[in-house]
């Protein structure tokens, strides 16, 4: 039996091979002239991708040690994606440049600490360069620029997403759906977000670690569910109707939780459980019930528990879509029901008659979260593959636009990172890494920058492949995306720099 331990330079070489494999796979997806990656999934049609996280998630190596490095990179890339929704390709390229510099490091501990200091200086400079988005601009040129670039230079999608955010605002909720038309469009719908995550990540059904389902059924109970048999009637109704079930409860634990997870993982049921927020739980139950309909089941009362749930008697709620994440749950209810309209009127009346400002504010908050702006974007296309590819670009653009509104923008085209790189000495490895995105854009056909042009005044417009004045930049990146990409890259480099041994425990 061969040893399962790889030491020293052999371990570093395996990690470097991993990041080189990943970097070379995504390098062509950067920029408006970006290429796509075709990924074959066993038993499924091939996918056309330009999303860094999904590409990284599809890469495999026959070398187990290299695969360890790929898995490590995938985890950090996913964290970068969750932090800002975009920028994985940039993070990959910077990380690759850093790791190549560090491959023969003689003092990894000192280098790792030095890298943290360099990152801190770079982030501070990027924050100084950042400018807020002018939401008073009727044309919202900055937002359209961000959305268009994030959508892979698709101006129609850029305009669509900009118009949507102009209507729903930065805090508005956005839901993506497959449309029935050949083009993309959006509309305002009713819905809400509650600060309740899934009870267990084992209930997730996407690689984003979320439970995402269309047309779910809801069973709402104030009970603490401990007996799995109590859930059986509701699960049977969901299975018979071929619909996912969302269990909203005071709590679920013990045998009930373990058996539910086992049935979900085993594919017997399609379900997810969420606990209602403990603070003001009665109000949350009422508001959610008004949003999705159905009835609220109560404990310790004969005939009122969920064990008595039956189909066809209005006991189950429903919605257009639900997305349950690790921090919160977004429910898209669709058009406002009469019950919801009546509930909102009642809340308004309660707020008007409230005798204390605190109570009034509390009621208005409930009203706001039920009438909050929400939009559904319907993704169109001529084929399933086209719809999937468009959905990825729309998702990136929505995340980028929201972050731009909240945290400002930086001049794009790699200019901001290149500008910050000039803080460091000519032969500094960090300087070389920060300049990598701009070099890659040029190599991907963005044009050539003549020597002697001042980086203070000019940047490379990646859409026109021409030099333009920084003051009038029309290629912009969300500040959060740029900073999170850089942080993710440094995180990967430090992890690989500090690794001296790989132990393989798999087959």
pLDDT at 300: 66
Please spell the DSSP secondary structure of 429-465, one letter per residue: HHHHHHTHHHHHHIIIII--PPTT--TTTEEEETTTT
**Rounded to two decimals, what is the model's pTM?**
0.69
Residues 170-197, mean pLDDT to the nearest whole number: 85
Cβ atoms of 207 and 57 closer than 8 Å: yes
**Res 372: pLDDT:** 67
72 three-state secondary structure = helix
Which pLDDT band, with edges at 50, 70 and 90, does 156 fall under?
Answer: very high
Residues 51-101: pLDDT tens digits? 677 787 788 898 988 998 888 877 767 766 666 666 778 888 898 888 887
Spatial separation of the C-alpha atoms in residues 369 and 291, rounded to whole Å? 11
**339 and 331 Cβ atoms separated by less than 8 Å:** no
Angle at 122 between CA 121 and CA 126, to 5 degrees: 120
Is residue 451 within 8 Å of 462, Cβ to Cβ? Answer: no
**pLDDT digit string (tens) for 443-495?**
765 544 545 455 566 666 666 666 677 777 788 899 998 999 899 889 888 88
Q: Is the dihedral of CA 164, 167, 169, 175 positive or negative?
A: negative
Q: Which residues contact 303 (CB under 8 A, 6 or more apart)?
A: none
pLDDT at residue 56 in the model? 78
Higher pLDDT: 384 or 312? It is: 384
The mean pLDDT of 281-291, rounded to a whole number, is: 92
Q: What is the DSSP letter of 5?
A: E
Pick 285 or 55 by higher pLDDT: 285
pLDDT over threshold 50, residue 166: yes
What digits encode the pLDDT tens for the residues 222-260? 999 999 999 999 999 999 999 999 999 999 999 999 999
Question: How far, CA to CA in Å, does 290 sit from each of 168, 326, 354, 470?
Answer: 22, 24, 21, 51
Bigger pLDDT: 207 or 329?
A: 329
Q: pLDDT tens for residues 363-411?
A: 888 887 887 678 889 999 988 888 988 998 898 899 889 899 989 999 8
Instruction: Give dist(CA 474, CA 155) in Å, integer.
Output: 13
pLDDT at residue 1, as a whole number: 38
Partners of residue 244 on adjacent β-strands: none
User: How far apart are alpha carbons 488 and 102 in whole angstroms?
Assistant: 16
Phi, psi of 336 (to 5 degrees): -65, 130
Asked if pLDDT for residue 285 goes beyond 90, the answer is yes
């Amino acid at each position: 039996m061969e040893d399962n331990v790889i030491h020293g330079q052999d371990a570093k070489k395996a990690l470097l091979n991993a990041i080189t494999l990943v970097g070379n796979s995504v390098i062509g997806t950067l920029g408006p002239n970006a290429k796509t990656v075709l990924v074959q999934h066993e038993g499924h049609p091939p996918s056309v991708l330009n999303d860094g996280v999904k590409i990284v998630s599809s890469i495999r190596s026959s070398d187990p040690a290299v695969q360890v490095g790929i898995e490590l990179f995938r985890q950090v890339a996913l964290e970068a994606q969750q932090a800002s929704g975009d920028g994985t390709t940039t993070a990959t390229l910077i990380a690759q440049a850093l790791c190549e510099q560090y491959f023969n490091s003689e003092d990894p501990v000192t280098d790792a600490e030095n890298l943290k200091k360099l990152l801190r200086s770079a982030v501070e400079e990027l924050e100084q360069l950042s400018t807020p988005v002018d939401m008073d601009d009727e044309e919202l040129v900055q937002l359209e620029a961000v959305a268009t670039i994030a959508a892979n230079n698709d101006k129609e999608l850029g305009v669509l997403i900009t118009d949507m955010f102009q209507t729903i605002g930065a805090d508005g909720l956005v839901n993506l759906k497959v449309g029935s038309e050949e083009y993309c469009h959006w509309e305002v719908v009713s819905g809400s977000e509650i600060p309740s995550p899934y009870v267990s990540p084992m209930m997730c059904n996407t690689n984003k670690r979320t439970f995402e389902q269309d047309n779910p059924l809801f069973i709402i109970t104030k009970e603490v569910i401990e007996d799995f048999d109590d859930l059986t009637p509701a699960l049977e109704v969901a299975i018979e109707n071929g619909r996912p079930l969302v269990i909203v409860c005071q709590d679920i634990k013990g045998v009930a939780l373990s058996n539910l997870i086992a049935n979900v993982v085993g594919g017997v049921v399609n379900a997810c459980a969420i606990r209602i927020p403990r603070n003001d739980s009665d109000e949350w139950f009422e508001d959610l019930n008004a949003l999705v309909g159905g009835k609220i089941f109560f404990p310790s009362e004969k005939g009122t528990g969920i064990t008595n749930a039956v189909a066809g008697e209005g006991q189950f709620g429903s919605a257009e879509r639900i997305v349950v994440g690790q921090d919160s749950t977004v429910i898209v209810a669709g058009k406002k029901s009469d019950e919801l309209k009546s509930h909102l009127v009642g809340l308004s009346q309660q707020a008007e008659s409230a005798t204390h400002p605190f109570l009034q504010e509390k009621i208005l908050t409930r009203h706001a979260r039920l009438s909050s702006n929400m939009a559904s974007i319907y993704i169109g296309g001529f084929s399933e593959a086209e719809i999937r590819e468009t959905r990825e670009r729309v998702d990136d653009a929505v995340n980028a636009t929201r972050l731009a509104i909240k945290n400002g923008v930086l001049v794009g085209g790699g200019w901001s990172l290149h500008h910050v790189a000039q803080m460091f000495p000519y032969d500094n490895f960090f300087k070389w890494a920060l300049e990598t995105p701009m070099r890659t854009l040029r190599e991907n056909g963005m044009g050539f920058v003549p020597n002697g042009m001042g980086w203070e005044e000019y940047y490379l417009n990646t859409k026109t492949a021409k030099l333009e004045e920084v003051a009038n930049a029309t290629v912009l990146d969300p500040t959060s995306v740029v900073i999170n990409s850089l942080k993710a890259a440094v995180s990967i480099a430090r992890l690989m720099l500090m690794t001296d041994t790989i132990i393989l425990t798999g087959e």
